[in-house]
Amino acid sequence: MGSLLLQQIPLALGIIMSPLAVVAVVAVLFSERARINSIAYLIGWYLGIVVALAGSYVILTALQVHQRTHPPLWVPIIHLVLGATLLAGAWFVYSRSRRGVQAMAAAVVPGDVVAAAPQLPKMLQSV
């Protein structure tokens, strides 16, 4: 059980140090009711981390996942599916950005360049 908790430390650090969280904090601090929003964000952030770690702990304990010399068959299959999904997502993002660059290169009028340029999400435009 203790080793299972130690294995979740990288997951917790990955959640805590996410750049998306930093962007959200900046957006919350520049909102109209910054004090109330920041307290709500902080509570939600901690609850989210606790729920994510507790949920993964419960699931991994229920599946009786522990260190073995040979993992069960479903572990490499999940790795393969996750890897294929991440590769497909990377290809989608790459092809979408490539189309945007080609549209910007083909633009003649400055208005076309602005229309083809990537836009920030509305939450970040106010920052």
User: What pLDDT digit, counting tens, does each position of 54-113 carry?
Assistant: 888 888 778 776 666 677 788 889 999 999 999 999 999 888 888 878 887 888 888 888
The Cα–Cα gap between 95 and 90 comes to: 9
pLDDT, mean over the chain:
81
Q: Is the pTM value of this prediction over 0.85?
A: no
What does DSSP assign to residue 30?
T
The Cα–Cα gap between 96 and 92 comes to: 6
Q: Locate the domains of the chain by residue range.
A: 1-67, 70-120
* Residue 7 identity: Q
